[in-house]
Structure 1
Amino acid sequence: MDKIITETAAQFDYEVALQVARQVLKKPDSVLCLATGNTTEGIFNELVKLAQGLSIDFSRVRTVNLDEYVGVSPDDPTSCRYRIEQQLFEKLHIPKENVYVPSSTAENAQQVCEEFERHLQELGGIDLMVLSTGENGHIAFNEPGTPFGCQVHIAKITRSTVEAKAALFGGEDKVPQAGVSMGVRSIMMTRRILLVAKGEHKAPIMKKILCGPVTEAVPASVLQLHNNVTLIADRAAMARVDCD
Structure 2
Amino acid sequence: MLRVLEGKDYNDMSRIAANMIFAQITLQPGCVLGLATGSTPIGTYNHLVECYKKGDLDFSQVTSVNLDEYRGLNGTNDQSYRYFMNEHLFHHVNIKPENTHVPDGTNPDAVKECGRYDQLIETLGGVDLQLLGLGNNGHIGFNEPDDNFEKGTHCVNLTESTIKANSRFFSSMEEVPTQAYTMGIGNILQAKKILLIVSGTAKADIVRETFTGPITPRVPASILQLHKDVILVGDKAALSKL
State the TM bucket, normalised to the shorter chain. over 0.9
Structure 1 residue 86: Cα displacement: 1.1
Structure 1 partner of 2:210: 209
- Is the contact between residue 147 and residue 184 of structure 1 (CA under 8 Å) also seen in structure 2? no
1:170 matched to which residue of 2?
171
> 1:86-120: CA deviations, max 9, x gaps?
11011112111101101133622221111101100
Runs ≥4 residues deviating over 4 A: none
| Amino acid across the alignment from 1:24 | I
Count of residue correspondences? 241
Instruction: State how far apart, in whole Å, the 1-side matches of 2:147 and 2:231 are.
Output: 23
Residue pairs, 1:217-236, within 5 angstroms = 217-236=218-237
Q: Deviations over 1:126-168 (max 9, x none)?
A: 0001101100000001000162252111111110100110011
Shift in Å, 1:55? 2.9
Give yes or no for contact 1:66–1:182 (8 Å, CA) kept in 2. Answer: yes
Equivalent position of 2:196 in the other structure: 195
**One-letter amino acid of the counterpart of residue 46, structure 1:** H
Which sections of structure 1, spanning at least 5 residues, go unmatched?
A: none
**Residue 119 of structure 2 aligns to which amino acid in structure 1?**
R
Offset, 1:57: 1.1
- Distance of 2:203 and 2:55 partners within structure 1: 32
Q: Does 1:102 align with 2:100?
A: no
> C-alpha distance in 1, partners of 2:173/2:207?
26
**Is 1:58 aligned to 2:59, yes or no?**
yes
Deviation, structure 1 residue 173: 2.1
Does the 8 A contact of 1:32 with 1:61 survive in 2? Answer: yes
CA distance in 2, matches of 1:149, 1:171: 30
Tell me how large the CA RMSD over aligned residues is: 1.1
Query: 2 CA distance for matches of 1:105 and 1:18?
Result: 34
Q: Which residue of 2 aligns with 1:130?
A: 131
Partners of 1:110 and 1:104 in 2: how far apart?
12
Answer yes or no: is 1:9 the counterpart of 2:19.
no
Query: Contact 2:46–2:88 at 8 Å: present in 1 too?
Result: yes
Cα pair 1:14 1:43 within 8 Å, conserved:
yes
How far does residue 170 in structure 1 lie from its aligned partner after superposition? 2.0
Letter paired with 2:46: N
Q: Is the 8 A contact 2:35 2:132 kept in 1?
A: yes
Distance 1:85 1:237 in 2: 28
Counterpart contact for 2:204–2:240, Cα < 8 Å: yes
Task: Give the 3-state SS of the residue equivalent to 1:231 in structure 2.
Answer: strand
TM-score, with normalisation over the residues of structure 2? 0.97
Mapped partners of 1:62, 1:46: distance in 2: 19
Measured in 2, the distance between the counterparts of 1:154 and 1:222 equals 20
Q: Which amino acid aligns with 1:84?
A: M
Q: Which runs of 5+ in 2 are unaligned?
A: none
Map Cα deviations across residues 38-84 of structure 1 (whole Å, 9 max, x no partner). Answer: 00111110111122224311011000000000000111010001011
Q: Which deviates further from its counterpart, 166-175 or 123-132?
A: 166-175
Contact 1:138 1:144 (C-alpha < 8 Å) held by counterparts: yes
CA distance in 2, matches of 1:77, 1:187: 26
Task: Report the more deviating stretch, 144-153 or 157-166.
Answer: 144-153
Cα shift readout 1:181-223 (whole Å, capped 9, x = no counterpart): 0000110000000011011111111111111111110000000
Q: Is the 8 A contact 2:42 2:88 kept in 1?
A: yes
Corresponding residue SS for 1:233: strand
Q: Percent identity?
A: 37
